[in-house]
Amino acid sequence: MKIVVGIKQVPETTNVKINEKTKNIDRRGLGGVINSYDLHALQAALAIRNQVGGEVITLSMGPDDFAVSLQETLALGADKAVLLSDRAFAGADTLATAYVLSEAIKKVGQVDLVLVGQQSVDADTGQVGPIIAEMLKVPQVTYADKIDAFKDHLVIDRKLENMEQTITAKLPILLTATDKANRPKYTNVVEIAKSFDKPIITWHAGDLDLDEKRVGQAGSPTIVRSISEPQKVAKKNHRLSNDPATAARELVDILKQKNILTEDK
């Protein structure tokens, strides 16, 4: 089974700055980590490969330094990785991102399963996976909690707000994985060393059959009108006495001052 796993690198810090001109996250100087939901998708793909055999290919779109995250996916067990890197891709919204990813998946060829995380922790839209499925014209099952693989089909369990479902789905298909799908493993020194023998392939815009009007900002109908950084609020604290009885009286007084406790009349 040939499996492609979508990987997004997200900022590893909560101290995120906003570019006032582009209204995008200013990633300069920020470290990056793999989106946590994508790690669950990767672990699910590796488990499926162990069940039925095949190949796991990780795919990411971003600047050249995203190769670090793809190297980590190779250390975790992926067979090879593809980085889509070109200035033309900059400023892409979910539609333009999904378009480039779907064209790359077509170039990979004969893909049986596409796995992505249910959403990214920086944007939280959950849109890219379903859009890719529509562009590839394949069925999709979102919010997969458990996946069992067979030669020509999958059995997927998922929990929605008001129901639980078990779905049997034929290939090819796209799945979005939840954080309940598995427990991602960690790499070790041996796996990291072995990962450097696996290929990371870089494709630029010219390597794909792309309509330039559909990539980057030109292909992004979504426009961010305004965005702001969260306001930092200074937290006040009050140190209570070490004596339990005194501390109890102090706490009661504080709660009364805040009208959380009232005296019975």
Q: How far is CA 156 from the centre of its chain?
A: 20
Per cent of the chain over pLDDT 70 is 91
Confidence of residue 259 (pLDDT cuts 50, 70, 90): confident
Round to whole Å and give the CA distance between 41 and 118: 9
Model confidence at 255: pLDDT above 90: no
Kindly state the average pLDDT of the residues 147-176: 95
Q: Which candidate, 35, 221, 33, 7, places its Cα nearest to that of 101?
A: 7
Confidence of residue 234 (pLDDT cuts 50, 70, 90): confident
User: In 68-103, which positions are buried (b, 16+ CB within 10 angstroms) versus exposed (e)?
Assistant: ebbbbbbbbbbbbbbbbbbebbebbbbbbbbbbbbb
Q: Which CATH number fits domain 2-219: 3.40.50.620, 2.30.30.760, 3.50.50.60, 3.40.50.150?
A: 3.40.50.620
Model confidence at 204: pLDDT above 60: yes
Q: What is the pLDDT of residue 20?
A: 66
Model confidence at 8: pLDDT above 90: yes
Confidence of residue 250 (pLDDT cuts 50, 70, 90): confident
Round to whole Å and give the CA distance between 30 and 13: 7
Q: What is the pLDDT of residue 25?
A: 63
Q: Give the start-to-end residue ranges of the domains of the chain.
A: 2-219, 234-265
- Six-digit token pair at 13? 């810090």
- Say if residue 3 is exposed, middle or buried (CB neighbours under 10 Å; 0-12, 13-18, 19+): buried
Mean pLDDT over all residues of the chain?
89
Determine contact, residues 102/78, Cβ cutoff 8 Å: no
| Locus of tokens 């990987």 | 7
Q: What is the pLDDT of residue 208?
A: 96
- Six-digit token pair at 226? 């305004």
Kindly state the average pLDDT of the residues 131-144: 97
